[in-house]
Structure 1
Amino acid sequence: MSTVHETTLEIDLKALEHNYKFLRSKLAKDVELMGVVKAFGYGSESSEVAKKMSELGVGYFAVAYTKEGVSLRDDGITESILVLHPQSINFQEIIERCLEPSIYSEYVLREFIKTAEKLGQKDYPIHLKLNTGLNRLGFIENELETIFDYLNKTSSVKVKSIFSHLAASEDWREREFTLQQLGKFRKMAFKLFENLKYRPLLHISNTSAIINYPEAAFDMVRSGIGLYGFGNDEKINKNLKPIGTLKTIISQIHHLAAGESVGYNRAFTAIEKTKTATLPIGHADGINRQYGNGRGGVYIKDQYAPIIGNVCMDMIMIDITGIECEEGDEVILFGGPQHATKFATSGNTISYELITGISQRVKRHIIK
């Protein structure tokens, strides 16, 4: 008897609690842990995940874009929310919904101050993003004077934190570069301290840095992928529990004779009698075409069944020859017998891309 009756992503909040406690155990008591819940909670369910983290003691959340923060507010999340990549068109909404912007360039700083002054704000919390080598977003060292010029002319905003982002904290081959980033961050942060006359929070560590660079915890760390059960390292993965299990069912079973083909472009042709099953999940659900033609596979009753033929928009076909199963039986794509990292690797990608790509049309079931 199936435990699911349609394609479902099960989200285990007990696993989330386990991961939080593991990461928390690596930190000093006075270091805060910011929960990153962008991209629908890394493809899970951001509001339920945030509510669970709040119960566990997380007082700060991070999202990528304003819309994600607004959604959390609409669902009753009252904790501080950092918007990592805000756009100027959303600045008024950010203030109206009590979100906190990352300020990463002179343009963003100037435009946010304009909006804050227009709305009569005083000491509105902002977060200064420093570029220490990742070279995506952030102020570089010779722009610090520009920050001082703007901040010294307004009382509308106040710096809540200064932060940066490590480029390769999971890769020991890049240890020298990571240490250079940390040194640059300290140098730039203390220049800011001297001018601001107060001390904002400092944070630079992501999940891998929590484990590999404990000296870089500063006042707060940011964990995203680790809370969801992935550590970028096999040794770390053993201490974490993935919170998501993607399941579906068998829609129909076919018995092919030698020479019969399966799916679009006849990408699979049986060379002998073959039993196949069609599953109601496809690339519109996040199982992309690179998993087809024998590269990826699923599990039925703990037995592996390769994906055959081309992945369709709404369906995949699998080879179930030799597996005792029936229409309606449960199928597991990742979670349980198959770690999401293993499934992702079969498609030459990473767990981040796989789990965040699960479509919102896939049913979410929260296991509390």
Structure 2
Amino acid sequence: MRTLTLHSNNLDRAWAEIHLANLGHNVKVLRNLLPHGCELMAVVKANAYGHGDVKIARYLNRIGVFSFAVATIEEGIRLRTYGIKGNILILGYTDPHRLPELVRYRLSQTVVDYKHAKQLNASEQPISVHIKIDTGMHRLGESCNNTAEIESIFQCRNLRVCGIYTHLYVADSTQEDDIAFTKEQLSDFYTLLEHLKQHRIKLPKMHIQSSYGILNYPELQCSYARIGIALYGVLSSPSNRTKIQPELRPVLSLKSRVVLIRQIVAGECVGYGRAFSASRNTRIAVLSIGYADGVPRSLSCGKGEVLIHGCRAPIIGRICMDQLMIDITDIHNVKRGDIATLLGEGGSEVITAEEVAAASETIANELLSRLGSRLERVYL
């Protein structure tokens, strides 16, 4: 992603503004929440949740962050190719035939189960790994009950076990039964660690928490905290209530320009399927952004809004691949070239990622990570 000025000719359509000062603020706030000895591991998978992985990681390097997590080997290679320093952990599965690339680019690989460990070990090339432990989510990881298999992973001579971790997958909930389940997960994980110690296995660095783990279970002692969505100043849902509520600042704003204004009369329709029919003489503006840029189509027909001249304007008709239409009848002096804000502040109003995600019946994580590649990222 290129760094552009706000006057760039490339900003005549749609773009995302990335506020690096807010990212730095969030890093400082989140570090202050970590237990002593715990290091922030920045999760920059999915193009850093839509923010631009290389630019984000470079900035984090500059402010002293040197531990990163990605989802795929391609994401890890990309960071190394652009000179990112520090530890890079691949959280997802990597096929053993790509082990030479893990070595070449100095990437740490998650061992997703005992069979995966044996396949990686068979290559005869030493690599750094973290062992994923399944404590109930049943996604990736060797079951915490399979202690013999986990011990065997530590005995693999070509695997340098640098970490062991699990995932608290209902840590975002403060409901009593979910808290009880999270405590069961922690008990199972700590029981496994104690078993390993009793069998004279030196424990590597340990990590448990993601964003919500830090916000709801800040007391947990660990070596790393894998922080994703909170790093970008956002929570997954506006309904989430956390034990700790730090002052985080959104890093990303999403904007587009008005490219056409037209007047329609009562009874005329707008957009595909004639989904909007004007009940009055209506002034509409066309914005040059659509669902191919990551704007959820489910925000069509009044379910979504944008900010223009500091006022909220409803989206009318169905969102198109490359454009959407808004009702500006009650907003004065809108003209071609004006900027509309889909995420972020406009005057005294603000539209948050959490708000838009809820209106789209999804979470902010998905909303941000699906922002399209043709959107320019402007780093401020």
TM-score (norm 2): 0.91
Matches within 5 A, 1:262-341: 262-324=270-332, 325-336=334-345, 337-341=350-354
Structure 2 residue matching 1:358: 3-state secondary structure: coil
Structure 2 residue matching 1:62: 3-state secondary structure: strand
Which residue matches 1:125? 128
Mark the CA change 1:243 to 1:182 in structure 2 (over 3 Å): closer, same or farther. same
Task: Write the distance in 2 (CA, Å) between the matches of 1:9 and 1:196.
Answer: 51
Mark the CA change 1:190 to 1:40 in structure 2 (over 3 Å): closer, same or farther. same
- Deviations along 1:44-74, whole A, 9 cap, x unmatched? 1111111121222222100000000000011
Size of the aligned set, in residue pairs, is 360
- Give the Å deviation of 1:178: 0.8
Unaligned runs of 5+ in 1: none
What amino acid is the match of 1:175?
Answer: I
Runs of 4+ in 1 over 4 A off after TM superposition: 234-238
Task: Write the distance in 2 (CA, Å) between the matches of 1:6 and 1:230.
Answer: 25
Task: Write the distance in 1 (CA, Å) between the matches of 2:250 and 2:35.
Answer: 24
Structure 2 residue matching 1:275: 3-state secondary structure: strand
Q: Which of 39, 63, 88 is equivalent to 2:70?
A: 63
Which residue matches 1:23? 30
- Deviations along 1:108-145, whole A, 9 cap, x unmatched? 11111112x1x3x3xx3210000011111111133221
- Give the Å deviation of 1:238: 6.2
What amino acid is the match of 1:202?
Answer: M
What amino acid is the match of 2:192?
Answer: M
Q: Which of 207, 213, 217 is equivalent to 2:217?
A: 213
Mark the CA change 1:196 to 1:329 in structure 2 (over 3 Å): closer, same or farther. farther
Structure 1 residue matching 2:77: 3-state secondary structure: helix
Identity across matched positions, percent: 35
Tell me how large the CA RMSD over aligned residues is: 1.7
Which residue matches 2:3? none
- Deviations along 1:281-305, whole A, 9 cap, x unmatched? 1111111210101000100011001
Please say if residues 9 and 247 of structure 1, whose CA atoms lie closer than 8 Å, have aligned partners that are also in contact.
yes
Please say if residues 230 and 237 of structure 1, whose CA atoms lie closer than 8 Å, have aligned partners that are also in contact.
no
Q: Establish whether residue 171 from structure 1 lines up as the match of residue 173 from structure 2.
A: yes
Task: Write the distance in 2 (CA, Å) between the matches of 1:193 and 1:99.
Answer: 27
Q: Which of 157, 160, 172 is equivalent to 1:158?
A: 160
Q: Which of 146, 150, 170 is equivalent to 1:147?
A: 150
- Deviations along 1:63-105, whole A, 9 cap, x unmatched? 0000000000111012110000022143221122110000011
Mark the CA change 1:323 to 1:78 in structure 2 (over 3 Å): closer, same or farther. same
Task: Write the distance in 1 (CA, Å) between the matches of 2:14 and 2:322.
Answer: 11
Q: Establish whether residue 111 from structure 1 lines up as the match of residue 119 from structure 2.
A: yes
Please say if residues 36 and 61 of structure 1, whose CA atoms lie closer than 8 Å, have aligned partners that are also in contact.
yes
Please say if residues 268 and 278 of structure 2, whose CA atoms lie closer than 8 Å, have aligned partners that are also in contact.
yes
TM-score (norm 1): 0.94
Please say if residues 182 and 216 of structure 1, whose CA atoms lie closer than 8 Å, have aligned partners that are also in contact.
no
- Give the Å deviation of 1:6: 2.4
- Deviations along 1:136-178, whole A, 9 cap, x unmatched? 11111332212323543x4211210110000111211111011
Please say if residues 215 and 245 of structure 2, whose CA atoms lie closer than 8 Å, have aligned partners that are also in contact.
no
Task: Write the distance in 2 (CA, Å) between the matches of 1:54 and 1:193.
Answer: 34
